[in-house]
Amino acid sequence: MSFLRPFATSVFAASMISLSACGGSSSSTPEYTVPADAGLVVKAVASIRWDATEYTATAGDIKVFFANDDSVKHILVVLKDDSVVGDLELIVNKRGDFDEGTINLEAGEYRIYCTIPGHGGMNSTLTVS
Ligand SMILES: [Cu+2]
């Protein structure tokens, strides 16, 4: 993940003013910075769920940022008609972990899915247009 740092640093500097205006975050909030150019942001949240039931993205190369606000491991893949699309596989092992990658998707309906056994409920719609 070290490749993130130069970019994250510049974004952080640019957003310092707005962040400080918010009064800071609670100590229980996992620490990570969502890249400003992320085309799709997915978070795993408590009770083995995604943070949304429906996601949207713009067709083409989509930078996916995946963060873990839950306490167990999750593995994100994109499905189309029950088959994994592309070679994107993002893994977050514990709370506060994040991963990112890029996938090229044409317009259409996909699903954001977790491949961990027992996590079948992590199955949300992704609409690419
Ligand atoms: Cu999962």
User: Which H or E run includes 15?
Assistant: helix 5-21
User: Could you read off the pLDDT tens digit of each residue along the chain, which spans 129 residues?
Assistant: 445 455 544 444 444 444 444 434 444 677 899 999 999 999 999 999 999 999 999 999 999 999 999 999 999 999 999 999 999 999 999 999 999 999 999 999 999 999 999 999 999 999 999
CATH number of the domain to which 46 belongs: 2.60.40.420
* C-alpha of residue 107 to centroid of ligand 1, in Å: 25
Distance in Å, CA 30 to ligand 1 centroid: 17
Q: How many domains does the chain have?
A: 1
CA of 85 to the centre of ligand 1 (A): 18
Q: Which pair of structure tokens corresponds to residue 126?
A: 């992704």
Pairing of strands 74-80, 108-114: antiparallel
Q: Output the CA 27–ligand 1 centroid distance in Å.
A: 24
How many whole angstroms from 69 Cα to the centroid of ligand 1? 11
pTM for the full model? 0.77
pLDDT for res 123: 98
Nearest in space to 106 (alpha carbons), one of 66, 78, 65: 78
Contact 67, 38 (CB under 8 A): no
The whole domain housing 72 covers 2-128
